[in-house]
Amino acid sequence: MRARAVMGTILLAAISLTGCGGEDGGRGNDKNGAPAPSHQDKPLAELDVPAAYDAGKGWDETLTWLPEAVETLPVTAAPRTGGIALLHAAPDGYTVKVRAADTGRVRWTSAPWDPPTPLEDAAGDPARGDATEIPDVIAVEQDGREYIVAYGHGLRGKDELHEGTEVVGLAVYAADATGTAVKPLRQIEVPVTANPGEVHLSTAGGRLLVGWDEDGPYPLLSAAVDLATGKTVTYDDTDALLPQCAEAEMCSRSRVMAATAQGPLVGMGDGGFGMPGRWFSDTVRPDGVPARLGIYKQWNGTVYGANDGLLLAHWEAVDERGSDTDPVWSVHDVRTGALKATSTCGYDPKDDRGWHDSGAEREHSVVTSLDGRYLAAGPVAFDLRKEKGICLAGDGDRKSVALVSIHDDGTAYGSVEKNTSTEGTPPVIAQVDLTAGLDSAKVLGTGTDVPFATGLRGAGLFLHRGDDLSLRVSLRRER
């Protein structure tokens, strides 16, 4: 998968909140600020990793500054350059540290970065479990070059005489930088108006997309950012982006789902999606699904999510008698709309609490293998080389398996769907071989550590929050 700092619901549940706290296994920098040797000072933390990983080989580092409740974790994987970026807090600002995924060697550290001043309510309410909005870090691959972007939401220019301007501040670094006190290539500020927790960043289409104004991965308002030039394009009238919206009987609350060099991927609020001036969903829909639905003849087809230049779409289907059947799912190229694969699967996102066609929320994140062969969102999975789907949705007896990461060899990890009697218990972890299909699913057991990202120069990334609220970042080598 293209590893992100933002976690899906299932993955957050899989990160243990109790147990051993981590130690900083690497030296970091010496007293002169130079990168230190990459050997472990302390024994590796004990992890219960899947059989594909060696629990005794790798490295650990700990972030100790995180509040009790957060919606994002400030660590990201940079697959192209093979690095792991972490955001450290210090009295004089925040510092990005990038370590080699395989050896743990510190490649570079940034000069202190000063994010925007947090909004008044950014601290949340720990007593109610409200999350604190914190600065974060994300890896972005644009036009063949990889960047590390530190970002924060808040006010710039606020003082005794000024109210300040609300922005998302971006500090853009070259992922392949070296040395210490590395300065950003550029700093960019995107004006926004949002409550704490309502800013979300996406890299699905090859351009950084900053979204805001709603909680969830696909907010109503957004801006595409070209990291090479600093140019920003804001999308505030999304219903005007696709001409098909004006032609529809019902069309409102359209939103940009991904930003590309060719333009935005737009999902219309009441069905239909496409890229302005290039393609529309009606011309790329799978065989057998109706073009329009209901008495208002709304466009069929909604974007569930996108990742790594691919989008996952959901279509309503009917049988020969006109009765509703299991939804049809399809994978498309974001830039061209070209259909990559299609499948029928009994998971219906309209049954998710709080999700509807025009909403920003999603129950599952879209994940891909690093080589792009496999894609999944929860129980809906695809082998794009074979152009076939693998449905892991429950069938009454068999429980659903929701995937959170996929290796290039087709080994996928996820959690088994809970029922009401097991709410509040740790997730049961499952492993699936997507090359073999549904019957290959096996339980790894409660407490097994799930890799957040796989195939990182022969290592997997594991995350763990200790009972002291520290975040331990662990890389373990593949066997």
Residue 478: the pLDDT is 97
Domains of the chain by start residue, with CATH: 9-478 (2.130.10)
Check: CB of residue 276 under 8 Å from CB of residue 336. Answer: no
Is residue 438 scored above 70 in pLDDT?
yes
Residue 460, Cβ density class (10 Å: 0-12 exposed, 13-18 middle, ≥19 buried): buried
Residue 58: the pLDDT is 98
Give percent above pLDDT 70 in the chain.
Answer: 87
Stronger pLDDT, 473 or 417, i.e. the higher one: 473
At 18, is the pLDDT very low, low, confident or very high (cuts 50, 70, 90)? very low
Is residue 1 scored above 70 in pLDDT?
no
Distance separating alpha carbons of residues 402 and 10, to the nearest angstrom: 8
Residue 191: the pLDDT is 98
Is residue 52 scored above 70 in pLDDT?
yes
Residue 218: the pLDDT is 95
Residue 36: the pLDDT is 38
Is residue 197 scored above 80 in pLDDT?
yes
Q: Using one digit for the tens of pLDDT, what is the confidence trace for 344-393?
A: 999 988 765 444 455 788 999 999 999 999 999 999 999 999 999 999 99
Distance separating alpha carbons of residues 259 and 356, to the nearest angstrom: 22
Least confident window among 15-19, 40-44, 115-119, 368-372:
15-19
Stronger pLDDT, 346 or 31, i.e. the higher one: 346
At 13, is the pLDDT very low, low, confident or very high (cuts 50, 70, 90)? very low
Residue 323: the pLDDT is 64
Is residue 318 scored above 90 in pLDDT?
no
If you average pLDDT over residues 32-53, what whole number do you get?
70
At 247, is the pLDDT very low, low, confident or very high (cuts 50, 70, 90)? confident
At 321, is the pLDDT very low, low, confident or very high (cuts 50, 70, 90)? low
Is residue 30 scored above 60 in pLDDT?
no
Distance separating alpha carbons of residues 378 and 271, to the nearest angstrom: 22
Is residue 175 scored above 90 in pLDDT?
yes
Distance separating alpha carbons of residues 472 and 138, to the nearest angstrom: 18
Is residue 405 scored above 50 in pLDDT?
yes
Is residue 24 scored above 80 in pLDDT?
no
Q: Using one digit for the tens of pLDDT, what is the confidence trace for 77-108?
A: 999 999 999 999 988 999 999 999 999 999 99
- Token reading at 337: 């709309």
At 415, is the pLDDT very low, low, confident or very high (cuts 50, 70, 90)? very high
Residue 422: the pLDDT is 61
Give percent above pLDDT 90 in the chain.
Answer: 73
If you average pLDDT over residues 319-339, what whole number do you get?
87
Residue 2: the pLDDT is 40
If you average pLDDT over residues 447-460, what whole number do you get?
94
Distance separating alpha carbons of residues 281 and 304, to the nearest angstrom: 13
Least confident window among 8-17, 31-40, 299-308, 433-442:
31-40
Is residue 6 scored above 60 in pLDDT?
no
Q: Using one digit for the tens of pLDDT, what is the confidence trace for 144-159?
A: 999 999 999 999 998 8
Q: Using one digit for the tens of pLDDT, what is the confidence trace for 262-311?
A: 999 999 988 999 999 999 999 999 998 999 988 878 899 999 999 999 99
| Residues ≥6 apart with Cβ < 8 Å to 377 | 304, 305, 312, 362, 364, 365, 366, 367, 403
* Average pLDDT along the chain: 88
If you average pLDDT over residues 414-430, what whole number do you get?
79
Q: Using one digit for the tens of pLDDT, what is the confidence trace for 459-474?
A: 999 999 988 899 999 9
If you average pLDDT over residues 43-59, what whole number do you get?
96
The three-state secondary structure class of 281 is helix
92-98: long-range contacts, CB 8 A cutoff, minimum separation 24: 94/135, 94/150, 94/152, 96/137, 96/148, 96/150, 96/171, 96/173, 96/182, 97/28, 98/148, 98/175, 98/177
DSSP codes joined into one string, 99-163: EETTT--EEEEEPPB-PPBPPTTTT--GGGTPPBP--EEEEEEETTEEEEEEEEEEEES-SSS--
